[in-house]
Amino acid sequence: MIDTMSNFWHWFVIIPTVLGLIGCYWLLKANSTGVAADQEAAEDHVWDEDLREYNNPLPKWWYNLFVITIVFGAIYLALYPGLGNFKGLLNWSQLSQYNEEVASAEAGYGPLYEKYSSTKLTELATDPEALKTGKRLFSTYCTTCHGSDARGAKGFPNLHDGEWLYGGEPETIKATVIGGRAGVMPAWGAVMDDDMLKAVVEYVQSLHTNEGDAEKLALGKEKYGLFCVACHGPDGAGNKALGAPDLTNNIWLYGGSDRVLLETLKLGRNGKMPAHGDFLGEDKVHLLAAYVYSLSQQP
Amino acid sequence: MERKIVPIIPAVEIEQHLYEKRQKIYPREVHGIFAKLRIAAVVTLLGLYYGVAWLQWSGRQAVLFDLPARKFYVFGQTFWPQDFFYLTLLLIFAALALFFFTTLAGRLWCGYACPQTVWTETFLWIERLVEGSRSQQIRLDKAKGSRNTIVRKTIKHALWIIFSLWTGFTFVGYFTPIRELGLDVLALSVTGWSLFWILFYSFATYGNAGWMREQVCLHMCPYARFQSSMFDKNTLIISYDVARGEPRGKLKAKAASPTSTGDCIDCTLCVQVCPTGIDIRQGLQYECIGCAACIDACDEVMEKTKKPKGLIRYTTENALEGNPARLLRPRVIIYATVLLALLTVLIYSITQRKLVDIDVIRDRNALYRELDDGTIENTYTLKILNKTEQPQRFKLTATGLDELILQSDDEIIEVDSGSVKNLVVRLQIHYEQVPATSNQVEFHIASESDPDLRTLEPARFLAPQMDN
C-alpha cells in the first residue's frame, strides 16, 4: 500500500480541491443577484400553445442549502484525509477503523471461545454447545475445501472416515490446524517408464485387493521396494510422521482408479493444508479441533 | 406564496437577489362540507397511526416490524424477508390507486390523505388554538418581541414539540415493541438507535408540519409534479367558474350595476384560506393540492350574497367549456380493472402463501465427489424455513433420478416455529445410473403433522463425464 504521494500529486490534489471549493462559493454568490431576465427570453420558451416559462425567484433556503453543502465540504476536508497527504484532524483511516472494529469484535466474542480453551478436546467433543460453535467455525473456515459435510473432495481429505494422513489424535488434529501441512508425493515419471509405473500401480492396487497379474506384480514390487518404501513403508501402511498415506485400504485422497493412480505416480502430488494458528488464534482452533475430532467419532 | 411574474419592463437593469425568503402563509380557518371530510380523514388516519401501534394480537403486538429478527408481524400474518414480493405488489397497488383517483378527481390524495397534509392540518389547528385566527396570527407576528407574542409562540412550539415527540415515539413503536419502549421512555432509559430515531422523526414532523408546510408540496414532492400528467379534460378539478364570476366586483359596484358584474365579489376569502397561498381564480395551478378549502369558503359567501353555490367547485374542464363531461372513460376503466385484478392477486397470493420454504445451496468447491465404490456424490446445504406458529417435524425426500439416495447426518428434521434450520445433505447415485453430467433433481419437504404443509425446490445434480 502506498501511504503517501509525491509532492507533486500532493499539491495536485490540494490546489484544485481548495480552489474548487472557493470557486463554488464564488459562483453561488455571483449568481445570487442579477438582472431578472426580460420578457423576450421568456417568450422564447412556450410549449403546448400557452405554457410559458417565467423567471420565478428560488426559495432562499435553497440558497442556504448550497452554502451548508460548501461548509460541510470544508469541515469534512479538515477532519478526514482528503487533501493530499494531510491526514485529517481525526487521524482516521480505513485501516485504523478496521483495526478498531476487529478489536471490539474480539473483545465481544473472545470470551465465548476462551471459556472452552482449558477444557480437554475429548471432553469438548461431547459437549453439544461447544460442537455447535465448532460447526459454525467449520462452516466459515473449512468448508471451502473439506465441503459443508466435511467429507472432502479430490485432494482434500474426508474428515468423517477415521482415516488420517498425519494422525487422528485430538492433539494431532489441533497441531494440523495450527501449523498446516504440506504433503509432497514426488513425481516418478522421470525415473520410471510407463510400463514400470503401471506395474507399481498394479502392485499398489493389490495391497488391498490381493489380486493382480503375477508378472506385473513382481516388477511392481521390485520398483516399490526401490522408490516407494522409504515413505510408504515395506508393507504399504504409510507413515503418519510424513503424511504418507496408507496404501493398504481403499481410501484415496486423489482417487483410486488405475488411471488416477498412474497420474499420481507419474506427476506427483502437492497437498497443502494452510496454517490457521495465527489467523484464527489458539482458542478458535481448539474448538475447531474438537469439532473435527468429533466428526471422526461418528460414522 | 404568490406567483411572482417577472414584470415586463424592458431594459431597466435592476440588480436584485434571485433567491427569495419564504412568505409565511396564514391559512384562514374554513368551515363546510369539505373541511368536515378532511377533518374526518385526519382523525381517522391519525387515529389509526397512533392507535394501531398499541393493539395486541394473540400475545404480541399486532403490527410490528421486527428488523433485527427480520420478522414482520401484521395481525395474524408473519412476513419474512422472503415475502418482500408482497410489499412490491402492495406498492404497485398503491401507485395504481393514486393514478386511478387522480384521474378521477384530481389530487384527492394530496388534499385529504397525504401525511404532509394530515400533520400540517393538525399543526394548524394547534396554531389556531394558541395564536387565534388568521388576522390575530398576522398581528402577533407583526408585534415581534412583545410579551404576548413570546408567550404564545413558546406555548405553540412546546405543544408542537410534544406532539412531534409522540409521533416519533409511535413511529419507533412500530419497529420495537411499543409497550416496552413506553416504559423505557417513562424511565428515561431510551438509548442508542431508538432514541436517535424517535428524535429524528420528531424533528422531521416538527420541521415538515410546523415550518416547511406547503414548501414540501411545492419544491420537494415528486408526486405533486407528475400528478397533473394524469389529468384529462374529464378529471374533476377544483376550479373557479370564470364565465359566472367575471367581471368580479365589490358588492357596492354590483349594487350600482347588477348586470355588468359577475358573481365574484372579490372578497379574496378563497385566497386567504388557501394553504399553498394561490389564487384559484387564476385557473389550475401546480401549487393546488386539491384541498377544496376555497370551495367551502366561497360557498359560504355565495350563501350570504344569495347567489347559487358553486362559483368555485369540483368540476371538469369539459363542463366548464360547456361540453358533456364523462366520468367513465377508457383510462378510468383500465385503471379500475388493473387495480381490481391486482387486489385479487394480492389477496389470493397472501391466502395461498407457503408457510414452509426450502432453499438449496450447492457446495461451491467441488462439483461432485467420486466415492471409491463408484458412487457419485453431490453435497447441498438446505435451509428449511418454518413460518408457522408451531414447531414442525419434516420429511425430506429427493426425486428426479432413479436410484437416487439421500443421505444426511441429521436423522430428524425438526424446525422451531419461526426459525430456519441448516441441513447438510448428500445425494448419491452410482456412476452407471447417472444419465448426464448435469441433471435436474428436486427436494421435497412435507410436515409430518400437516400434510398440506409441503413444498419443493429444484436443484442440479452434477456428475463427471463418463467416457470409459
**Distance (Å) from the C-alpha of residue B367 to the closest C-alpha of chain A?**
9
Nearest to B276 by CA among B232, B212, B226, B223: B212
Nearest CA in chain B to A37: B6
Question: Which of 53-82 (A) contact B at CB < 8 A?
Answer: 54-63
Residues of B with CB under 8 A from a CB of A: 3-6, 8-11, 13-22, 215, 219, 363-366, 369-370, 372, 377, 379, 381, 409, 424-426, 468
CA distances from A33 to A25, A36, A69 (A): 13, 9, 20
Q: Are A251 and A220 in contact (CB under 8 A)?
A: no
Nearest residue to A165 via CA among A153, A152, A181, A146 = A181
Q: What's the Rg (C-alpha) of chain B?
A: 32
Contact (CB<8Å) A35/B16:
yes
Low-confidence ranges of chain B (pLDDT < 50): 1, 7-11, 468
Beta pairing, strands B438-447 & B454-462 = antiparallel
Q: Least CB-CB distance to A32: which of B19, B370, B425?
A: B19
Task: Give chain A's length.
Answer: 299
Q: In this predicted structure, what is the pLDDT of residue B73?
A: 93
Residue A217 has pLDDT above 50, yes or no: yes
Quick check: B178 and B166 in contact, CB under 8 A?
Answer: no
Residues within 8 A of B (CB atoms), A 198-217 only: none
Contact check, Cβ <8 Å, B379/A147? yes
Separation of first and last alpha carbons in chain A: 48
Question: What single string gives the DSSP state of each residue in B308-345?
Answer: -S-SEEEE-HHHHTTPPP-SS-HHHHHHHHHHHHHHHH
Q: Which three cell numbers stand for residue A258?
A: 488405475
Stronger pLDDT, B208 or A40, i.e. the higher one: B208
Whether A60 sits inside 8 A of B22 (CB atoms) is: yes
The pLDDT tens digits for A132-182 are: 999 999 999 999 999 999 999 889 999 998 899 999 999 999 999 999 999
- A-chain residues near B16 (CB < 8 A): 33-36
The label of the residue with cell 461548509 reads A71
Q: With an 8 Å Cβ cutoff, are B20 and A35 in contact?
A: no
DSSP H or E stretch at residue B243: helix B242-245
Residue A257 grid cell: 482408479
Shortest alpha-carbon distance between residue B226 and chain A (Å): 16
Q: How many CB atoms lie within 10 A of CB B75?
A: 11
Cβ-based contacts of B287 with chain A (< 8 Å): none
A·B CB contacts under 8 A: 97
Secondary structure letter of residue B21 according to DSSP? P
Report how far apart, in Å, the C-alpha atoms of B82 and of each of B63, B183, B343, B353 are: 18, 33, 20, 11
Q: Comparing C-alpha atoms, which of A252, A291, A264, A285 is closest to residue A153?
A: A252
Please report, in angstroms and rounded to a whole number, the separation of the first and last CA atoms in chain B: 86
> From the list B4, B18, B365, which residue is nearest A153 (CB)?
B365
pLDDT-derived band at A32, boundaries 50, 70, 90: confident
Chain A residues touching B13 at Cβ < 8 A: 35
Q: Compute the distance between CA of residue B326 and CA of residue B214 in angstroms, rounded to an integer.
A: 32
Q: Catalogue the E-assigned strands of A1-61.
A: 33-35, 46-47, 51-52, 58-59
**Encoded amino acid at B126, one letter:** I
Handedness of CA B70, B72, B77, B82 (dihedral sign): negative
Distance from CA of B103 to the nearest CA of A (A): 20
What is the average per-residue pLDDT within A111-121? Answer: 90
Cβ <8 Å between A59 and B369: no
Q: Which three cell numbers stand for residue B251?
A: 358588492
Quote the minimal CA–CA distance from B302 to chain A in Å: 32
Strand order in the sheet with B392-399: B413-415, B392-399, B438-447, B454-462
pLDDT value of residue A1? 44
CA A266 to chain centre: 31
* Residue B328 CB neighbours (<10 A): 9
Cell triple for A273: 493444508
Whole-angstrom distance, CA of residue B212 vs CA of residue B220: 10
Q: Read out DSSP for A216-278?
A: HHHHHHHHIIIIIHHHH-TTS--BTTTTBPPSSSS--SS--SHHHHHHHHHH-EEEEE---HH
Copy the grid coordinates of residue B34: 369539505
| Cell matching residue B226 | 407528475
Q: Which of residues 125-154 of A touch B (CB under 8 A)?
A: 143-145, 147-149, 151-154
Interchain contact, A252 vs B372, CB within 8 Å:
yes
pLDDT of residue B38: 95
The cell numbers describing B44, all together, are: 381517522
pLDDT at A274: 95
Long-range contacts of B85-90 (CB under 8 A, 24+ apart): B86/B346, B86/B349, B86/B350, B89/B342, B89/B345, B89/B346, B89/B349, B90/B346
DSSP B263-297: S-----HHHHT-TT---GGG---TT-----HHHHH
Closest CA in chain A for residue B12: A35
Based on C-alpha coordinates, what's the Rg of chain A?
35
Contact A149/A298 with Cβ under 8 angstroms?
A: no
- CB half-sphere exposure, B206, CA atoms < 13 A: 18
Give the bridge partners for B73, in sequence order.
B64, B78
Cis peptide before B275 (omega within 30 of 0): no
- Using CA atoms, how far residue B63 sits from A63, B74, B176, B178, B446, in Å, is 42, 5, 10, 10, 30
Residue B381: predicted pLDDT:
92
**Residue type for position B410:** D
Q: Compute the nearest-CA separation of A140 from chain B (Å).
A: 13
* pTM score: 0.77
A80-88: list long-range contacts, CB under 8 Å, 24+ apart. Answer: A82/A17, A83/A13, A83/A14, A83/A17, A83/A18, A84/A5, A84/A9, A84/A10, A84/A11, A84/A12, A84/A13, A84/A14, A85/A4, A85/A5, A85/A10, A86/A14
